[in-house]
């Protein structure tokens, strides 16, 4: 699993050192990762072959010509880049993805289990605060529902 959060600096060639744990997890048909514009947030999403296969499975469940299938194909497959590791464990981010998300200097790499995201540092700080609040509220609602279910079952 891709876990933890790392701050890394892009060099002048848009190269980024991928954490060693992430490199080990991305092992697959080539030495690198798949990256594309995230559908859910303003960042780059990436992962290994398992993530690619997961998206392909979702896409293939939809009928050919379905508008959601077309949107996923365009967003994920059309935006995807295969990024190989160099001997120092770096990937070179495509200029188009860097421009899309304002990645120029410091970035944050966030592990999300079967995938990771690459964020512009300040954008991630705002996103993390919003996600924390959403998680806090969602967990409180879930606990309230569980208590209500237990109380209803006790009667």
Which of 110, 130, 106 is CA-nearest to residue 120? 106
pLDDT per residue rounded down to tens, the chain (155 residues): 788 999 999 999 999 988 888 877 776 666 789 999 999 999 999 998 888 899 999 999 999 999 999 999 999 999 999 999 898 889 999 999 999 999 999 999 999 988 999 999 999 999 999 999 999 999 999 999 999 999 887 66
Which of 136, 127, 79, 130 is CA-nearest to residue 107? 127
Looking at domain 5-121, which of 3.40.50.12280, 3.40.50.720, 3.40.50.1100, 3.40.1550.20 is its CATH number?
Answer: 3.40.1550.20
pTM of the model: 0.86
So where are the chain's domains?
Answer: 5-121
Residue 153, CA distances (Å) to 33, 117, 139, 141, 148 in order: 48, 42, 21, 18, 9
The position carrying tokens 């806090």 is 136
Do the Cβ atoms of 41 and 138 come closer than 8 Å? no
């Amino acid at each position: 699993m891709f876990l933890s959060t790392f701050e890394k600096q892009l060099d002048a060639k848009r190269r980024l050192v991928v954490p060693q744990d992430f490199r080990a997890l991305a092992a697959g048909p080539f030495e690198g990762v798949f990256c594309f514009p995230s559908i859910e947030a303003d960042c780059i999403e990436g992962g290994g072959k398992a993530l690619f296969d997961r998206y392909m499975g979702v896409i293939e469940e939809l009928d050919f010509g379905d508008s959601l299938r077309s949107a996923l194909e365009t967003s994920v497959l059309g935006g995807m880049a295969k990024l190989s590791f160099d001997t120092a464990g770096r990937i070179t981010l495509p200029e188009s993805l860097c421009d899309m998300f304002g990645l120029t200097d410091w970035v944050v790499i966030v592990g999300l289990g079967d995938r990771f995201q690459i964020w512009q540092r300040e954008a991630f700080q705002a996103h993390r605060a919003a996600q924390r609040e959403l998680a806090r509220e969602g967990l409180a609602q879930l606990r309230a529902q569980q208590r209500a279910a237990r109380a209803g079952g006790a009667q």
